[in-house]
Amino acid sequence: MELRLDGKTAMVTGASSGLGARFARVLAQAGARVAVAARRVERLAQIAEEIAAAGGTARALAMDVTDVASVRAGVAAAEEALGPIDVLINNSGVSFTKRIGEVEEDEYDRVMDTNLKGAFFVAQAVGRRMIAARRAGRIINIASAAGLRPLGQISVYGMSKAGVIHMTRSMALEWGRHGINVNAVCPGYIETEINRDYWATEGGRKLVQMLPRRRVGAPEDLDGIVLLLAAEQSRFVNGAVIAADDGFTAG
């Protein structure tokens, strides 16, 4: 059974690097027209060009998820360029490492404004348009294993992702009657260009030895679950919170 998205329009936030860039490429390879959104427009343009060179269709759009006006303008621009959005990958996220007693207000606000408030208003903007157009759709919120299991020194990040998990279930409950499926994926430790150097450090090597199978994942390890949740074959999956963490939160 092949999972295809031909004729669909998708939007991926936080698409300028890491998992977001990977998700955009995967959806485009499956036939979707993809709007890639983030603040780093120059990087987005490069990703859109790479997708086009591979035979896909993509548009780069500036969007600051901490600014609701920017979110709504970005969603409108995506639909104007590519047609009504059928699939949203709600992926923007930031983090920092600090003990709870050392967290400053601006650090707390930055994480919550991006990871939780931003995710909420992106999903709201897309969901409103789906409902108004009477179009079924898929919203996939990228949460984290840290939202399922407390982890040291990234408490605020974990709190924000736990909020994304609850948000997912609430949206699934309210919007299911409109044909909108809302699900969450909770990645574990995934190596990307942002954290690659860390895994070569002593601390990184020690952490790997604490993982169930003594390894970290790669962005492509999430291809299957994201593509399934975006495709028609997942029509009976709504409100699911799926750990994609190699067993990290199983114990």
Q: What is the pLDDT of residues 171-213, one digit of tens each?
A: 999 999 999 999 999 999 999 887 888 888 998 999 899 999 9
Whether 157 is catalytic is yes
DSSP 117: I
In whole numbers, what is the pLDDT of the chain averaged over residues? Answer: 96
Is pLDDT at 117 greater than 90 in this prediction? yes
**Residue in 108, 157, 189, 198 annotated catalytic:** 157
Give the sheet arrangement for strand 9-13, strand by strand: 57-62, 33-38, 9-13, 87-90, 137-142, 180-187, 241-244
Count other C-beta atoms under 10 Å from residue 196's C-beta.
11
Give the Cα separation of 198 and 155 in Å (integer): 19
Q: How far is CA 55 from the centre of its chain?
A: 23
Region 136-144: what's the mean pLDDT? 98
Domains annotated for the chain, with CATH where assigned, are 9-241 (3.40.50.720)
What does the pLDDT read at residue 200? 87
Q: What is the pLDDT of residues 177-186, one digit of tens each?
A: 999 999 999 9
What does the pLDDT read at residue 168? 98
